[in-house]
Amino acid sequence: MNTIAIVCDAGEAIGFGHWSRCQAIADELNREQHECTLFLRYVGECSITLSASSTLYDWGEPELLQKIADNFDTILIDSYRTDALFYARCAELFHHTFVLDDFNRITYPVDHLINPNPYGPSLDYSNQTGTIHTGAQWVILRPPVLQAHHTFTIRPTLSHITISLGGSDYRHLVPKLLAPLLQTGLTISVMAATTAYSQELISRFDSPNLKIYDFLDAHQTVALIHTSDLFISGGGQTLHELACIGVPTLAITIDDDQIPNIHYYQQNGFLIESLQWDDITLTEKMLASIERSTHQHYRRQHAVIGTDLIDGLGCKRIANLLKGSL
């Protein structure tokens, strides 16, 4: 068959990071004329536009997984909702098994484990039996983001801040941050990700300086980034993209799995500030960071570091690894 299946999760309390990076891999493979289909298990009402190579599919169900195995040789899995028994089943059904892992979540009975994060080499993977591939060279970037590498302009005046705290904002941080941000008089944009959440925010906040967006695709995201002077981000996939483009960034740790990612970028000097979601002084520290960032030189000295941390070829490397299994 010589075909590749990619399965991943997205939706409520999950966000879009798994889907975003898997879609980038699928697009790379299909661009190189290798047959690949992405099967997306979505929690809640789907708010994203799927490409021609993607389909909504509850691949966790045994009989549906079997149907995938009947048509595909190789599988790549990206999910926090699967256990070791699922991976063992995949090892029985498929000729080649790959997993995307971010923090050595479990022991995976697979052929290859890919940790597409720059902090990966600091993790102890001695419990794993498969071949390990990790480090900054494996970071996955969507094509429009990669094309925007080194294109960001640090403007003299800070006038526009964009907030993106994951696809679900399950900590409900955006409302907490918006009130003090709107008092600054700056233009504030929010990537709300879903129509329901954007409508909720619109009903709660009425300001001519506030712009709230539903789900944005990669091209729309890059366009918004280029109009921003400062980004407030979580510590997931978006942080890699901001580093690649060279955007002044303040990061907020939303969950424990984001700690090593944020630590890496802070340790290397890219981040303007690293904050914790449950810090009782979160808003005060955020506003202090914004005040420091009004200086163009301060923003530039941090932002330019990010562009040199990732070469942007991670997606191609993963595609080549998957092709090598065929």
Categorise residue 15: left if φ over 0, alpha if ψ from -120 to 50, beta otherwise: left
- Stretch among 24-33, 150-159, 178-187 having the lowest mean pLDDT: 24-33
- Stretch among 41-55, 105-119, 275-289 having the lowest mean pLDDT: 41-55
Residue 285 tokens read as 């520290």
Burial 128-159 (b: 16+ CB within 10 A, else e): bebebbbbbebbbbbbbbbebeeebebeeebe
Phi then psi for residue 45, to 5 deg, are -80, 125
- pLDDT for 139 equals 97
Burial 255-276 (b: 16+ CB within 10 A, else e): eeebebbbbbbbeeebbbbbbe
> What percent of the chain lies above the pLDDT cut of 70?
99
Question: Per-residue pLDDT tens for 198-228?
Answer: 999 999 999 999 999 988 989 999 999 999 9
Indicate the CATH number for domain 145-306: 3.40.50.2000
Categorise residue 240: left if φ over 0, alpha if ψ from -120 to 50, beta otherwise: alpha
* pLDDT over 80 at 122, yes or no: yes
The rounded distance, in Å, linking the Cα atoms of 146 and 66 is 36
Q: Which residue has the higher pLDDT, 49 or 1?
A: 49
Which residues lie below 8 Å from residue 124, measured CB to CB, with a gap of 6+?
A: 104
Could you tell me if 108 and 85 are in contact, meaning their C-beta atoms sit under 8 angstroms apart? no
Q: Give the residue carrying structure tokens 């810090």.
A: 279
Residue 20 tokens read as 């975003």
Compute the radius of gyration of the chain from its Cα atoms. Answer: 20
- CATH 3.40.50.2000 in the chain: give the residue spans: 145-306
Answer whether CATH 3.40.50.11190 is correct for domain 4-140+312-323: yes
Tell me the average pLDDT of the chain.
Answer: 94
- pLDDT for 280 equals 97
- CATH 3.40.50.11190 in the chain: give the residue spans: 4-140+312-323
Could you tell me if 236 and 277 are in contact, meaning their C-beta atoms sit under 8 angstroms apart? no
DSSP-assigned letter for residue 15? B
Count of all residues that appear for the chain in the document? 326
Starting at the earlier edge strand, list the strands of the sheet with 160-164: 210-214, 187-193, 160-164, 230-233, 249-253, 273-276
The rounded distance, in Å, linking the Cα atoms of 95 and 111 is 9
Number of other residues whose CB lies within 10 A of the CB of residue 60: 15
Residue 313 tokens read as 């070829």
- What sign has the CA pseudo-torsion 13, 307, 275, 164? negative
Closest CA to 224 of 271, 176, 161: 161
